[in-house]
Amino acid sequence: MERSRVHPFYGMRQFVKTNQTRSVQSDAIKATINLQHDCHSAQCQVASTKSTRIERLNTTIKTPEVTHREDHKFILNSASLHAPEVHRRLAELEIILE
């Protein structure tokens, strides 16, 4: 992942997937972060395509689900309560004091 701009719609840091991979020792992992797919930029659509199951059987009833487009842009969820220091450091968001 590569850090990108602050997304104008979300007001949160955007990350872009790269082709690089890295291996690390599990004891070197300090925290996990919350990245969400950037549906706004990808213009993902919500459509009633998911089959509803009732008592473990599929029905003809369709429920809405998001159909994701583009899978390389993500938003760092700055509202995440998990590992807030790590999220804050990675987001590098401007703090506005009024």
Write out the chain in H/E/C secondary structure.
CEEEEECCCCCCEEEECCCCCCCCCHHHCCCCCCEEECHHHHCCEEEEEEEEEECCEEEEEEEEEEECCCCCEEEECCCCCCCHHHHHHHHCCCCCCC
pLDDT tens digits, one per residue of 49-61? 888 888 888 888 8
User: Domain coordinates of the chain in residue numbers?
Assistant: 2-43+70-91
Query: What is the Rg, in whole angstroms, of the alpha carbon atoms belonging to the chain?
Result: 18
pLDDT at 79: 80
pLDDT at 15: 93
pLDDT tens digits, one per residue of 3-51? 999 999 998 999 999 999 999 999 999 888 889 999 999 999 998 988 8
- How many CB atoms lie under 10 A from the CB of residue 97? 3
Residue with tokens 């797919």: 37
**Model confidence at 90: pLDDT above 90:** no
